[in-house]
Structure 1
Amino acid sequence: MEDQPSQFQKTLIKQYPARTASETAESRYWRRFRAPDTSQQVGAVTSIDFCPLYPYNYAVTSSTRVIIFDAHTRRPLTTLSRFKDKAYSGTFRSDGRLLVAGGETGFVQVFDPQKQTLLRQLKGHQRPVHTTRFAPDKMHVLSGSDDATIRYWDITAGEQLFRLDGHTDYIRSSACSPSSQDTWATGSYDHTCKIWDIRNKQCVMTMEHGGPVEATAWLPGGSLLATAGGTEIKIWNVLAGGQLLARLANHQKTVTSLCTASSAGPAATSAPRLLSGSLDGHVKVYELDEFKVTHATKYPGPVMSVGISPNAALLAVGLANGQLLVRKHSHNKGAVPGLPGAPSKQKVPYQRRLTAANYRYFTRGGNEKAAPGDVQVQLPGQKKLAAYDQMLRRFEYRAALDAALATEQVEIVANLLEELAARSGLGAALGGRDAQQLVPLLAHLQKHIVDPRHSNLFIGILNRVLDTYGPALGVSEDVDMKIRQVREQVKLEAKLQNTLLRLQGSLEPILSVALSAGGHSEE
C-alpha cells in the first residue's frame, strides 16, 4: 500500500504581477551603496566637500565648526572651530592642503587642515558669507555674501583684489567653470544666476531662474550649467548665450544642493551624473543625455547638502536635523585609475590554479545554469517542505499559521489562510491563542490589511479575530495597542478612499467636457 503522507501537496503560492518596473543596471549601481554610517552633528549639515586628491577625505560644515573626516574609516580627523558664530561652505583647495570657509560674522577664513591653524582671516564683507571657493590657480579665493557682493581675494597678501556688484539680494552659491579658470557662476536670491569674467571684472551673462537660487554646478565640459531654485533645476547652455535646455521639476520641496559625479554609473556605461538634494528628503540622480531621473533615495529628514567622492566610492548626505549619512559603494574599493592622487600601481589578486589536487576541481560546473535548449534531468528524491507545510501535513493548523507569519511574506500568509479555510481549519488556527501568539497576527494584519490584493481576505480574518477575542479585550495591553493601531490604519485608508472618490467625482465632469470639446474640434 502506498504511503499516504507522501501524497501531501505543498501549499501553492500565487504569483502576482510585478508592482514596479524591472530593475535597471543604473538602479542596481546606486543600490549597491551600503547602509549608511550615521553620525550626529551639533547643527544642520550645510556643506559637504570632498578633497580632490586620494584618499578623498571630506569636510563637513555644521554649526560653528568644520570637521574633516577620514574617507576610509569615516571618523573625524580634524575639527576646525575658529568661528565665533555659524560656519558655512568649508571647501578644499585643489591640492587638499588648504581649506577656506565663510561664516555668520562675514569673515572669510583660510586654514591649514593638517596643522589645524588659521592662516588668513579676510575681512571686507558686511554680512554673512555663505559661499567660498578657491580659484584653480590656488592663490585666490572667491566669496559671496548676504551683502549682495562678490569679492576676489589674494590669500598670499591677505587682501581683497576687487569687488563684483550686480546681484541685488543674498548670494548663496558659486562655482568656477572647469574649462576656464577666469569664468565664474554665482547664484542669488534675486532669482538670477550671473556669469562673471574676472579678467574684465564684469558680468557677461545673466540667466533668470525664476526663484531664489540655492545651488549652482557646472556640468563636466564647462558648456552647461545647472542651477537649483525652488522645486526646479534648470540646465543652461552657456556657450549658446544662456539658452535654457531643460527644466527638471522632480522634487516636491526646495532643492538645496547640487553636485556632479564624474565617474558614476554602471561599469559598461560609466558617465557623469548630476545629483540633487531637497528639503523633501530625497536625493535624485540624473543622467546628462536627456536629463531624466535614473535613481532616487529617501532620507529620514530634509536634505541640506550632498557630496560624492571623485572616485564615486563614497556618497555623503547632510540633513537639517544634524545627521550625516555616508554610504560606501560595495564594488568600488579604491581610487579610480587616472584621477589625481590615485595610486599608480594596483595589486592583482592571486588566483589559485584549479587542478585535480583541489576539491573544487571535482565540483566545477555545479552552479552553472542550464541554457534554454538543454535537457534537464530531475534527480530523484523528495523535495524539502517548508515549516508551515510540515505543520499542515501533521494537521497542526495553529503552528502552521505561526510558521507562515514568521516568514513575514504576505503571499505565503494569504495562501496559507485560504488553504486553512478550504480545510475548515481557520477556527483551530485562530482560536486558543494567548497574548504573545496573538500580537504577531495582529501586527501582520495592521501592515497588510490595506493591500488591495489581500484586503478582502484580511478584513474577514480580522472580523473573526474580533469575534473570538472580543470578550477578552482589556486583559493584555499589547493586544489592545495592536487593535487600536489596526483601527487607525483602517480609518486612515477609509478617509483616503473617500478623498479619492470625491476627487474622481470632481474630475469626471472636467474630463467629459474635455473629451466632448476634442470630439467637436475633430469634426
Structure 2
Amino acid sequence: MEAGDFQKLAVKQYPPRSIRETAEGKFWKSFGSPVLTQHVGPVSTIDFSPAAPYDFAVTSSTRVILYDSALRKPKKTITRFRDIAYSGTFRPDGQLVVAGGETGIVQVFDPGSRAVLRQMKGHSRAVHFARYAPDKTHIASGGDDATVRYWDSPAQAQLLCLEGHTDYVRCGAVSPANGDMWATGSYDHTLRLWDVRAGASVLRLDHGQPIEALAFFPSGGLLVSAGGNYLNVWDILAGGRLLRRVSNHQKTITSVALATPRGATFAGGAAAPRLLSGSLDGHVKVYDINDFKVTHASRYPAPVLSLGVSPNCTTLAVGMTSGLLSIRTQEGSRRATAAPVGRGGRGMLGLRPKARKRQRQQLQPGTYRYFLRGQAEDAPAGALVLPRDRAPRLAAHDKLLRRFQYREALDAALHGGRPEVVVSVMEDLVARHGLCSALAGRDAAALQPLLAFLVRYAVHPRYARLLLRVAHKVLDLYAPTLGRAPQVDTQMELLRERVLVEVRLQQSLHALQGLLQPIIAASISAGT
C-alpha cells in the first residue's frame, strides 16, 4: 500500500458545546481581568464622577476612598468620619464630594485637600443616601429616621423636611428631566416622588419589598426600583404605571446602574442604554431595556453590594460584602490611557512619532530568497496551473493504524488527550475488528491511561454509547487480574463509582419524568 492510498482518520465532529458568543457578550468580555482591592469593611457605595477623567468614590467602613479611573488605584482617602460612612457621591461637576454617615451628619468635602467644607445636621439617625442636585447648590438626603431632607449647601441650612415614609430611607435619585423631582425608596416597601418646589410627595408606589436601589432612565420618564429579588420598571409620566417586573436573581438585588456602551453595535443596531443589577447571589446581570432580557451575566466571589459604571462605559467597578472591590477596564481604553497622545498626534514630550516606512528588500541572485521568489504570488488569469501531489500529513495514530499496530495507535491517541480523537480511533478499531487486540495484553502501566480515560469520559453523553461497551470489554479481559496492582484497583473503583452515580441520576430523572407526565397531560387537556 502506497502513501497516497491510505486515508487518514476522520475525527468525529460534535455539535458546539454552547451557543456562539453574541456581540453583546464580546463587548462586556472586552473588559480585562479585574484589579482586586481589599477594604476593611463592606463596599456600600460606588459613584463615578460625571466629569472626565471619570474618577470614582468608594465608600467602605469609616472612609471614602477616591480612585484614579485610569490607573485603577486609590489617590485620596477621606477619613473625617467618627463612625461608618455612607453614600459618598460626587457633585455634578466632580469638584466636591458629599457623604452621609452613622452619626446622621451630612458632610461636604474637597477631594483635593480632603477638608470638610460643610456639615449639615438635622437627621436623628444614620444617613444612607446623600446626593447633589443638578444645580450643584442643593443636596437631598435620606436616613433611618424615615425623613428626606433638602439642604442649601452654600448656606449650610435645611430647606425642607419631607415626611411620609414609615421606615428607613435607604436610596434616592433625581430626575434627569427635572432637577426638582426626587425619588426615594424605603424599607416600608414604597417609593415616593417628591417635588421640592411644593415640598410634598406627588406620587407613591408600592414595590412590594424593602427597596434597596433606584435609578432613573436617561429620559426621566421611567424609573426602576430594586428590592427583594426583582426589579420594577415604572412609567412616571403615566402616573406610576408598572411596565415590567423582572426577576432574574436568586437573592436580594442591592444595586442598579444604567450605562450606554458608546461605540458598540449590538444586534438591534446602535447600542442603547443597558441596565445593570447586582445582587447578594454574587451575580451582576446586564439587561436590554427594550425587552428587559438578560444579555450578559458575571459571577463574583462574594455577594455584590454596590456597582458603578463610568459615564464613557469603559470602567466597571463592583463592591462586595466581604470588602473586596473589583475594577475592570475595557482593554482598548486602557491601552489608550497608557500611551497618551497630545495635540497634532504628538506624544507626551511633544515629539511627533516617526512614521516607519516599510522598504522592500531587493533580492540578490544566488540567495535562498531569490530561489523561492514568486511562490507566494497568485497565478495570472488564464495561466496553466499544474496540481502538486502532496502526501497527506499523518498524525502519530494514523501512521500506526497504517502499519496495523492497533494497541500503539490507541496509546498514541490517549497520549494526545483529545477525547474526540480517542473515540474516533476506537470506532475505527471496531470497524477493523481490532479493538480486542488493542485492549488485550496490557500491563498495569499501560492499562492506567486507558482506565483514567474511561473514568473521565465513560458516562459523558457524547461518548457513553461506545465507551461503556469498551469498559465492559476491559472488565472481561482484566477481571481475573484484579487485586494484583493497587493503581489499577483504584482506577477500577473510581470507574465503578462514576457509573453508580450516573445510574442513580438516571433513576431520579426517570422518577421525575413520571411525576411530570400527568401534570403536563392535565395542563394540555385543560388548555384544549
TM-score range, shorter chain: 0.7 to 0.9
Which residue identity is paired with 2:525?
Answer: S
Residue by residue, what CA displacement relative to the aligned partner does 1:406-427 show, whole Å, maximum 9, x if unpaired?
Answer: xxx5433433444455542652
- SS of the residue 2:308 aligns to: strand
Q: Which residue of 2 aligns with 1:202?
A: 200
Pair 177,12 (structure 1): closer, same or farther in 2 beyond 3 Å: same
Return the offset for 1:255.
1.4
Residue 471 of structure 1, aligned match among 480, 483, 487? 483
| Higher Rg of the two aligned structures | 2
User: Which of 171, 181, 184 is equivalent to 2:169?
Assistant: 171
Cα distance in 1 between the residues matched to 2:386 and 2:103: 78
Establish whether residue 74 from structure 1 lines up as the match of residue 72 from structure 2: yes
Counterpart residue number, 1:273: 274
Give the whole-Å Cα distance in 1 for the aligned partners of 2:43 and 2:388: 59
- CA deviation after TM superposition for structure 1 residue 471, in Å: 2.6
Q: Does 1:502 align with 2:514?
A: no
Cα distance in structure 2, aligned partners of 1:351 and 1:380: 44
Partner of 2:319: 318
Show the 5 A alignment for 1:262-411: 262-264=260-262, 266-267=264-265, 269-333=270-334, 347=345, 356=360, 380-386=389-395, 389=398, 395=405, 396-397=408-409, 399-405=411-417, 409-411=418-420
> For the residues of structure 2 that align with 1:60 and 1:47, how far apart are their CA atoms?
6
2:53 paired residue number: 55
Q: TM-score if structure 1 supplies the norm length?
A: 0.81
**Superposed CA offset, 1:360-406 (max 9, x none):** xx999x899xxxxxxx997653454456556666743465144322x
CA distance in structure 2 between the partners assigned to 1:454 and 1:319 by the alignment: 41
Contact 2:42/2:321 (<8 A) preserved: yes
Q: What's the secondary structure of 2:421's corresponding residue? A: helix
Distance 1:420 1:236, change over 3 A: same
Q: Alignment partner of 2:183: what SS?
A: strand
Q: 2:421 aligns with which of 412, 415, 426?
A: 412
Q: Note the alpha carbon deviations across 1:321-366, whole angstroms, 9 max, x for none.
A: 3322222223445899xxxxx999684998767775699xx999x8
Partner of 1:46: 44
Secondary structure, in 3 states, of the residue corresponding to 1:116? coil
TM-score, with length taken from structure 2:
0.80
RMSD of aligned alpha carbons: 3.9
1:218 is the counterpart of 2:219 = no
Shift of 1:117: 2.9
Spell out, residue by residue over 1:158-205, the C-alpha distance to the aligned partner (whole angstroms, 9 max, x if none): 333221111111212111111111111111111111111111111111
The answer to whether the aligner puts 1:513 opposite 2:522 as a matched pair is yes
**Counterpart amino acid of residue 328 in structure 1:** T
Change (3 A) 1:26 1:465: same
Matched pairs, number? 494
Inter-partner Cα distance in structure 2 for 1:63 and 1:462: 59
2:367 — aligned with what? Answer: none
Instruction: Call closer, same or farther: CA 1:484–1:116 in 2, change over 3 Å.
Output: farther
Amino acid paired to 1:513: A
Q: Which whole-Å CA distance do the structure 2 matches of 1:350 and 1:205 have between them?
A: 63
- Whether contact under 8 Å (2:451, 2:492) holds in the other structure is no
**In 2, Cα distance between the equivalents of 1:118 and 1:402?**
69
Asked if the contact 2:8/2:392 (under 8 Å) is kept, the reply is no
* Closer/same/farther in 2, CA of residues 246 and 219 from structure 1, 3 Å limit: same
SS at match of 1:263: coil
CA deviation string 1:202-254 (max 9, x = no partner)? 11111211211111111111111111111211111111111111221222222
1:9-31 CA distances to partner (integer Å, 9 max, x unpaired)? 43322222334333322222222
Going from structure 1 to structure 2, the CA distance change for 1:452 and 1:154 (only over 3 Å counts) comes to same
1:454 aligned to 460, 463, 471, which one?
A: 463
Evaluate the alpha carbon distance shift between residue 210 and residue 463 of structure 1 in structure 2; reply closer, same or farther with a 3 A threshold.
farther
Structure 2 unaligned residues grouped into runs of 5+: 347-352, 364-371, 379-384
Between 505-514 and 6-15, the greater mean CA deviation after superposition: 6-15
**2-structure distance, mates of 1:173, 1:325:** 22
1:240 match: 238
Match of 1:257 in 2: 255
Structure 1: gaps (5+ residues):
337-341, 369-375
1:18-74 Cα offsets, whole Å, 9 max, x none, are 343333222222222222222323232222222222222222222332222222222
